[in-house]
């Protein structure tokens, strides 16, 4: 019943080199439910892009920038990291489910690390989707015995 949802990856062009992995549509070839959107720098990622992805039905969002300390444009990865952590405006809205967002800081050579983290993340998001689909939304999440 749980349909397969997409994980959106917002990645900077100079971070983990994913070019070899992509099909013509921008999805990762052996993980077709992961779609990759490329930016010149992870600092260009707006928190409202993450909100938009989740609102449109994405299962989760992976943000991937360069190693902290080695952004090609000096500070971009630190900027988006601080925005995600709420330490820098603009930030993520409070309504965003933070379990569905993860950020990776990987160098160009760390393609394998990205793949293993992405696989684990997709798996966790699928489990989360299943868990949430199983809970009917009208009842409270913690069923307390009704008070007399």
Partner 1 sequence: MTSSVKNEPENNWFKQIYNHFIDGANKLTLAIEDITNIFITSKYNPFYYHGALPQFYLWVLFISGLLLFAYYIPTIDNAYLSNKLVNAWTSVDYITNTLPFGGVVRGIHRYAGDAMVLFIFLHAIRVWFTDRYRQYRWIQWVTGVILLLMVLFIGQTGYYLVWDERSLLLTRMTVSALDALPLIGGPLKTWFLNGDTITNLTLSNFLFIHIGLSFALLFVLWLHYVRMTRPVLTPPPAVNFILVGAILLIVFLIPISSGTMANLNSQPNAYDIDWFFLFNYWLMAHMPMNVFWISMTAAAVIATILPWFVKTISAPVIPAEVVIDKCTGCSLCYRDCPYQAIEMVPAPAGSRFKLLATVNIPRCSSCGICVGACAFDAIDLPQLPDASVLTEIKSFAGAK
Partner 2 sequence: MLKGPKDILILILAALCLGVSLVFMPWCELNFTGNFPDWLNGVTSHFGIDKFFAGLSAHNKLMEIIKSCHAPSNLGDYAYSLFLFGAMTVAAVAIILIGKEENSEKTVLEAKK
Q: Interface with partner 2 includes 74 (CB under 8 A)? A: no
Q: At closest approach, how far in Å is the CB of 101 from partner 2?
A: 5
Give CA–CA dist 32/95, Å, rounded.
Answer: 28
CB of 121 within 8 A of CB of 60? yes
Least separation, in Å, of the C-beta of 53 and partner 2? 15
Is position 79 an interface residue for partner 1 (rule: CB under 8 A)?
yes
Closer by beta carbon to partner 2, 41 or else 102: 102
- 41 contributes a contact to partner 2 by CB under 8 A: no
CB-nearer residue toward partner 2: 94 or 137? 94
Cβ proximity of 51 and 93 under 8 Å? yes
3-state secondary structure the chain: CCCCCCEEEEEECCCCCCHHHECCCCEECCEEEEEEEEECCHHHCCHHHHHHHHHCCCCEEEEEECCCCCCCCCCHHHHHHHHHHCCCCCCCCCCCCHHHEEEEECCCCCHHHHHHHHHHHHHHHHHHHHHHHHCCCCCCCCCCCCCC
Among 7, 14, 18, 105, binds partner 2 (CB under 8 A): 105
Q: How far is the CB of 16 from partner 2 (least distance, A)?
A: 10
For partner 2, the binding residues (CB under 8 A) are 67-68, 81, 84-85, 92, 94, 97-99, 101-106, 110, 113, 117
Q: Which residues lie near partner 1 (CB under 8 A)?
A: 3-6, 8, 10, 13, 19, 26-27, 33, 35, 37-41, 43-46, 48-49, 52-54, 56-58, 67-70, 72-76, 79-80, 83, 88-90, 105, 107-110
């Amino acid at each position: 019943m749980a349909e397969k949802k997409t994980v959106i990856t917002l990645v900077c062009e100079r971070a983990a080199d994913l070019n070899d992995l992509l099909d013509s549509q921008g999805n990762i070839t052996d993980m077709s439910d992961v779609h990759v959107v490329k930016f010149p720098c992870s600092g260009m990622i707006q928190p409202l892009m993450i909100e938009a992805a989740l609102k449109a039905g994405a299962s989760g969002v992976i943000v991937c920038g360069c190693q902290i300390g080695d952004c090609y444009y000096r500070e971009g990865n630190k900027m988006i990291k601080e925005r995600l952590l709420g330490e820098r405006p603009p930030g993520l809205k409070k309504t965003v489910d933070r379990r569905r967002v993860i950020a990776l800081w990987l160098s160009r050579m760390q393609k394998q690390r990205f793949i293993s983290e992405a696989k684990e993340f997709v798996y966790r998001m699928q489990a989360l989707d299943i868990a949430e689909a199983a809970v009917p939304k009208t009842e409270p999440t913690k069923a307390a015995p009704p008070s007399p």
